[in-house]
Amino acid sequence: MIVYLETSAAAKLMKREAESGAVRAYLQELIDGEHLVVAGRVMETELRRLAVRQGMPQGLVAGVLEVVDVVEHDRDQFREAGMIGDQHLRSLDALHLVTALRVGADAMITFDERLEQACASVGLPVLAIHAA
């Protein structure tokens, strides 16, 4: 199974939030089960900016990037992202969605409601991870 990890979920690996432990445990299960966890390169930028805003060490970002296969974005993905979804889907979320579809993801992990709705509109399941 290929699972796309979006930034709102990856950020929970860097911060202490209600779902952080559950996300960490679920990702470990996926990795132990030899499932592929992927993310678009844009996630690195988003996580690095989060670390800067919150005064976190950049090493936390490196730790997250170590557990995922990071895929590069190409020009066509940016074009597709500009046209996918409805008027409420934000630009970087559209890029995440297009990237997930492009890599053939079977599901996405996200905590972003707009992105979750966009995933539903294209038939990409979102894995529900809740605090334990």
Q: Count Cβ atoms below 10 Å from residue 76 Cβ, excluding itself.
A: 10
pLDDT of 26 higher than 80 = yes
Per cent of the chain over pLDDT 70 is 98
Query: 3-class SS at 107?
Result: strand
Q: What is the pLDDT of residues 50-96, one digit of tens each?
A: 999 999 999 999 999 999 999 999 999 999 999 999 999 999 999 99
**Structural domain contains residue 128:** no
Determine the structural domain holding residue 117 and report its residue range: 2-122
Going by their DSSP bridges, the two strands 2-5 and 107-109 should be labelled as parallel
**Structural domain contains residue 32:** yes
**Structural domain contains residue 70:** yes
**Structural domain contains residue 116:** yes
| Size (the chain), residues | 132
Q: What is the pLDDT of residues 13-23, one digit of tens each?
A: 998 888 899 99
**Structural domain contains residue 63:** yes
**Structural domain contains residue 60:** yes
**Structural domain contains residue 72:** yes
Residue 102, domain CATH: 3.40.50.1010
Q: What domain count does the chain have? A: 1
Mean pLDDT of the chain, nearest integer: 94
**Structural domain contains residue 69:** yes
Specify the residue for token string 């060490």. Answer: 57
- The pLDDT value recorded for residue 132 is 55
